[in-house]
Amino acid sequence: MNALRLIAPHLLCLDGARPALAGNRCSACGEIYFPAARGCTRCCGTQLGAFDLGHRGRLWSWTVQAFCPKPPYDGAENDADFQPYGVGYVEMACGVKVESRLTIADPQRLRIGMAMELTLEPYRRHADGTALHTHAFGPTPEAELQS
């Protein structure tokens, strides 16, 4: 997994068996941040340590991106070959809600509260031709069975 090229490597922990979201937590009050913050907005603390948000959560809200995004949010598509994709907020076990692409865009398969799992997906190609990946959430196998 470490051979993957990531668009935003600072957002992920890749040292385990699966990717996890990398944030931080205030040492003074325990507030958790994703992405990692420089200082605590709750208590103004400046001592924040690394915090692994994990790889599973619950779908809190979602929509379907039905038009090709403009830079800097554009991917590999252009208007002619754009395919709609899901975008949602996933609430992690620690309570932090993370905005992310979703692996599916079918409204019939998405429902608030369903269990979601972090994965990596190709996003676009680097100038040298190698694939750049981003994080996305998709339904867990158990959630898919319940659909």
Q: Residues 45-95: pLDDT tens digits?
A: 999 999 999 999 999 999 999 988 877 666 666 777 788 999 999 999 999
* Lookup: tokens for 118: 């972090």
Beta strands (DSSP E) in the chain are 5-6, 12-13, 20-26, 32-33, 48-54, 56-65, 85-92, 97-102, 115-125, 131-139
pTM, entire model: 0.87
What's the pLDDT score for residue 141?
87
CA 93 vs. chain centroid, Å, equals 14
**Closest by CA position to 21, among listed 58, 55, 49, 59:** 55
What's the pLDDT score for residue 14?
86
What's the pLDDT score for residue 78?
72
Contact call for residues 28 and 47 (beta carbons, < 8 A): yes
* Lookup: tokens for 94: 């620690």
Instruction: Decide if pLDDT at 1 tops 50.
Output: no
